[in-house]
Every structure is written in structure tokens, then in C-alpha cells.
Amino acid sequence: MPHPNDPKLKSFIAVDPTSDFPIQNLPYGVFSAPGAAPRVGVAIGDFVLDLALLESEGLLKANEPGVFAQSSINAFMALGPKVWSQTRARISELLRDDNPTLRDNANLRARALLPRKDVQLHMPFTVAGYTDFYSSKEHATNVGVMFRGKDNALQPNWLHMPIGYNGRASTVVVSGTPIVRPQGQLKPPSADAPTFGPCKRLDFELEMGVVVGGASQMGEMLTEAQAEAMIFGFVLLNDWSARDIQQWEYVPLGPFQAKAFGTSISPWVVTREALEPFRVKGPAQDPQPLPYLRQLGANNYELTLDVGLRTAGMNAPANISQTNFKYMYWSSVQQLVHHASSGCAMNVGDLLGSGTISGPEKDQRGSLLEISWNGAEPLELPGGDRRTFLEDGDSLVMRGWCQGAGYRVGFGEVEGTIRAAE
Ligand code: MN
């Protein structure tokens, strides 16, 4: 049987070469048809394949009956990497152009394949815990230069470990959910005392999110291989950030309310297995990390990322940044190894934000803080709007994909529109 990543595979469903969802992808999500309960599905072309229905028809088994008739993929993820792989191979087989099971059964096809435009997409998994890292050297350097000057841009610890903080799982939301402008304590350096009010420096952060599909015990460290095996897949992630709230609150324990009001993710979880053909080595690490953090594998991905901004007066988003996930200094595997290194237990459904992904070039910056250089260089948009930070009514859209030969393994998009403070 051909491997599900085989570039030559074709589905009986026509898929455009620029679609994010060819048969080589098969990302998992949670959807509902009008009047029906949310359940697990897979995206293929412009359709969603209903896995709960396939299971009830006896065409798909995943060790635990009813695992797809649920409103999250957590129970499926908990079955482990062997079942993930077997399930993906079976779904691929059922969608292949040389398999008549679905292809030639019009009745079953009509029930199992729903046009994506007719269904609602939900949070694909229940977020057990959310941690956000700070692992792009270009981003950390840009921010450091802005606030501490060129000579002290990176803090002394930065090259020795993936820096992170524990975020909030409660406000991780799926693409399309409006984001209410946060309120908080503001104290510009020129003010004597703080005031409470709407954030004036609202920003996005372009990130990838790792979806952890395995668990580790309290007191247990992880090896590179164990950490990798626990990674189920990836989503696009927008770590909305209130820069002015952050500036006043972050000393000495790091971001708190500035990052707690909302984090948006894309609805489809692209599996680690589907990204396998796009693995690349990350940047050389100098100094060499401590032994527990050393990695042998090529744990980065050649994955194009694109950010669009649409103001209320624009018809379509304008591209404001295009970068690549491959630039990350610390890999997702190293982040997970470090996260468990103290004996911190990891859970099925944990979400790890990569940290803002900026590239070496000016047009590869992954936040408005960097794009507008802390407000000093306003962004000029088509139609004449200018932005230093986000205004009410602005919509931010992130896309990501790996380019194969004649197909792409993509993530769809994560969108969020800013609403006025309440
Ligand atoms: Mn972040």
C-alpha cells in the first residue's frame, strides 16, 4: 500500500494544486452540520469527511468505539502515534481515486462528504494547558534592540534554553472568533501613575502551535525521541498581545493580562506525519545547548507563513509579512524537552506556542511591534490607511503551507477581527 505522504497519490475528489487540503494532508478538525452535534472530520479539497459516520458504517476503526463522535480530538490523540498513523493510512485509502468504496457509493458519499462552506468549524481540541515560547532569534533580537539597545539585545539566558511562560488555556479560541480589545493598567513611561482603560497598542504575533497528543508523568524528563513522538500536529496561532499593558506589568514575572485575553488558532490540526516530507535542519546553535537539549534530528519545517491585514475600509487583506517556520532557533521538540525537564507533567491537549516567527529580512517580521518599529515607522496600507498597532474593526489573517511538487500541505487560515473594548 502506498504511503499517505506519496506525492503521486490522487483522490477521487478533485483538489486544486493550490488547495491546502490534498490527499497528502488530511488534517483533523471538529465540525457540525446544521442541526447536528459537533464531531471529528478531516479536510479534503473543499469538503469535510465525517469520520464518525465512517466509523458507524464500519469503514473506519480506531481502537476505541465512538472516538470520532465527540466534540474534540483529545480522545483520539490519547490513543497514541501508532493509531494516528494507521487511521491516517485508512482515511487516505478510502479517499484514493482507485478505491471504489466511497467513490462509487453516491448515497454514502453524499452523507460522508460535506461541502466545507456548509459546516461550522469548532475548536479542534480541548486545550489542557497553553504555554508560549519566545524562540525566534530574529524576533527576540528585534525586540531586544528596541528596548535595550544593540549590545544587550539578547538576554544572557536566551541562547541556552527556550524561554517561555505559562499562558491561559481558557481564552484559546478558533479562527473567526472576534477579539475584544482588552482593558488594563497603562502607564506610559512619561506618566506618574497608572490608569485603567482600553489597550492602545494592540498587536498580533505570528506563531505556530504544537498540539501535544501524549502525556508525561510528573517527575519524568523527556528525550528528543520521546518528545517528538508526543507531538500530534500543528496549527497556526495568533498570540494577540497588548504591548502597553505588557510594558507596565511584566516586571518581574513576565506577561500576564497582556497575553491572557485571547489566543486564536486555525481549525485544522495538520499532523506531524503529513509535515514529514518538509523537515529541514534549524539554524546552527552556538553555543552548543546543554546535553539534555541537544538534538540529532532535523526538527524544523520548511513552511511558508503569510500575514494579511484588512482594515474596516478595505475589501481584502493586504499582505504585511511573509516568513518561514524554518528560521526558528529552538525547535518544537526542544521546547517540549525543556518544558518537561523540571519534571513538569505534560498532558494530551497541551498547546505550545512557538513564539513570534520573524525572519532575517524587514518584510519577514511577525508582529506590528517589529513592523512599525515600536510605532516609529507606521505601516502604509493600500487605500491609504496607516497603522502602528491594530484598530477596532481591523481583521488579521494568517496562512501557512508547505509546498510539495504539484500540491501543498496547508493549514487554512486563522482570522480574528478586533471589537471595541466593552
Ligand atoms: Mn507570543
pLDDT class for 63, splitting at 50, 70, 90?
Answer: confident
Mean pLDDT, the chain, whole residue set? 97
* pLDDT > 90? residue 1: no
Ligand 1 centre and the CA of 3: distance in Å? Answer: 35
CB burial class (10 A; 0-12, 13-18, 19+) of residue 83? middle
Ligand 1 centre and the CA of 135: distance in Å? Answer: 9
Q: Which residues are catalytic?
A: 139
pLDDT in tens, 212-255: 999 999 999 999 999 999 999 999 999 999 999 999 999 999 99
Ligand 1 centre and the CA of 186: distance in Å? Answer: 20
What residues form DSSP beta bridges with 387? Answer: 379
Question: Quick check: helix, strand or coil at residue 29?
Answer: strand
Ligand 1 centre and the CA of 133: distance in Å? Answer: 6
pLDDT average, residue stretch 300-327: 97
Ligand 1 centre and the CA of 96: distance in Å? Answer: 39
d(CA 259, CA 131): 11
pLDDT in tens, 126-141: 999 999 999 999 999 9
Residues near ligand 1 ion, CB 5 Å cutoff? 132, 205, 239
d(CA 217, CA 228): 16
Ligand 1 centre and the CA of 48: distance in Å? Answer: 31
d(CA 150, CA 186): 27
d(CA 411, CA 39): 19
Query: 372: alpha, beta or left, given left = phi > 0 and alpha = psi -120 to 50?
Result: alpha
* pLDDT > 90? residue 15: yes
Ligand 1 centre and the CA of 80: distance in Å? Answer: 28
Q: Report the predicted TM-score, pTM, of the whole model to 2 decimal places.
A: 0.98
pLDDT class for 422, splitting at 50, 70, 90?
Answer: confident
pLDDT average, residue stretch 20-32: 98
pLDDT class for 10, splitting at 50, 70, 90?
Answer: very high
Which of 331, 306, 334, 332 has the alpha carbon at shortest distance from 320? 306
Please report, in angstroms and rounded to a whole number, the separation of the first and last CA atoms in the chain: 56
CB atoms within 10 A of CB 101: 15
Kindly give, in sequence order, each residue whose CB lies less than 8 Å from that of residue 5, ignoring residues fewer than 6 positions away.
24, 273, 274, 276, 277
For cell 491594530, the residue is 390
At 77, the amino acid letter reads M
d(CA 355, CA 364): 14
Going along the chain from its start, the domains and CATH numbers come out as 28-122 (2.30.30.230), 130-419 (3.90.850.10)
